[in-house]
Amino acid sequence: MNRFAIKAGLGACVLGASVLIPAQVSAEPAATATGTELSGMTVFLDPGHQGSSEGHDLAQQVNDGRGNTKDCQTSGMTSLGGVPEHTINWNVTQLVKSSLESLGAKVVLSRQDDTGWGGCIDERARAASESNADLAVSIHADSTAQGEDASKHGFHMIIPSLPIPDEKADAAQSGGGLEASKMMRDAYKSDGFVPANYAGVNDGLQTRADVAGPALTQVPLVFVEMGNGSNKEDSAQLESSDGQLKHAITITTGIVTYLLTGSEAAPAQELAAAPDATTAPNASEDSASSTTTTTPKATTPKAAPKSTAPDSAQLSELMEMLAPLLEVQGLDGLQDLVNDKNLGLVSDLASTLLAVITGAGGGN
């Protein structure tokens, strides 16, 4: 499988341009999308938290999947720029949803809007299980302080401590869930995101026994913490349209990589002990800053092939070709993303599209 073609094609899909799909064999060029590449597959997307908890008790105790109980929900963090986590999660989820549907996947959401109640954590896990999804992805952003925390930054995937008491949940998370989480971690690293440097995170993975969602979900689950909203740089990216787009492209890449290349994974290898972590002021079900006990052994991600950024004349040709396809979710268009500061975000997409324009096909 050509991961370069996957990333480039998904960048186009997230932007509303279904012009490329992943190549099925590394030697093949990227092909024109038909919209059926993920036909028959279901993805459950959970944009963490909810727009309003009015009329609901966030402290209501629900099953935590390990014989105990915990709070029904948390309100979620607020970024340094004042954007609530539920809105960040919702925006990214909508971009991922659009991309997956453009490739023929059925997408089921845990909540239907960003204004009302989104359900307790056990209800979301049950909905994911009942969807019989090929993969569930819970999308979140973390925080480590009420105000700014300059020292802690980065993304991570939350891995449930194994074994899980429920046999179906244990099979799902020790197999496909762990495999998909590592693929998502690799997608984040390949796209230039830096793994979190706090709370016992080891190479982008953090193992926890206090997060109920994975322990209750009977389909493979990836629990993404996109970044630390208490960190100035992470927060700025989480708040901005182009930052949310970059996260969406990466998350979609991780999902499709698993759906098209993943296999039934063997049970998780023995987990290594991780250093103790200090619980942050707002540690919760949806904040990975709680104390961790174990961390999976790190795996070395496959290196993504290098690409060459286009020159100005080629870029103009690319922009002209994409002109009718630039309006997605209120974004002004791809032109706003292609500048000196963030050309790297779309360089793989641009290079592959330019190869199509010149008849060279996709690169390996």
* Catalytic status, residue 225: yes
Q: Which two tokens stand for residue 330?
A: 């209120």
- Partnered with residue 294 across adjacent β-strands are 273
User: Which whole-number Å values give the CA distances from 192 to 187, 196, 234, in the listed order?
Assistant: 9, 13, 13
Q: Which two tokens stand for residue 291?
A: 């104390």
Q: Which two tokens stand for residue 42?
A: 């279901």
> Under 8 Å CB-to-CB from 123, ≥6 apart: which residues?
none
Asked whether the beta carbons of 306 and 363 are under 8 A apart, the reply is no
Q: For the chain, how many residues are written?
A: 364
Residue 43 parent element (H or E): strand 42-47
Q: Which two tokens stand for residue 188?
A: 């984040």
- Cα angle, residue 302 at apex, residues 138 and 176 outer, rounded to 5°: 40
**3-state SS record for 82-106:** CCEHHHHHHHHHHHHHHHHHHCCCE
Phi, psi of 329 (to 5 degrees): 50, 35
What dihedral do alpha carbons 193, 198, 201, 205 form, nearest 10°?
A: -40
Candidate list 85, 225, 239, 285, residue with the active-site label: 225
State how beta strands 106-109 and 69-71 pair. Answer: unpaired
Helices of type H across the chain:
3-14, 85-102, 121-131, 167-172, 178-190, 212-216, 232-239, 241-261, 312-322, 343-357
- Partnered with residue 186 across adjacent β-strands are none
Asked whether the beta carbons of 100 and 44 are under 8 A apart, the reply is no
Phi, psi of 133 (to 5 degrees): -65, 150
Residues with a catalytic annotation lie at 225
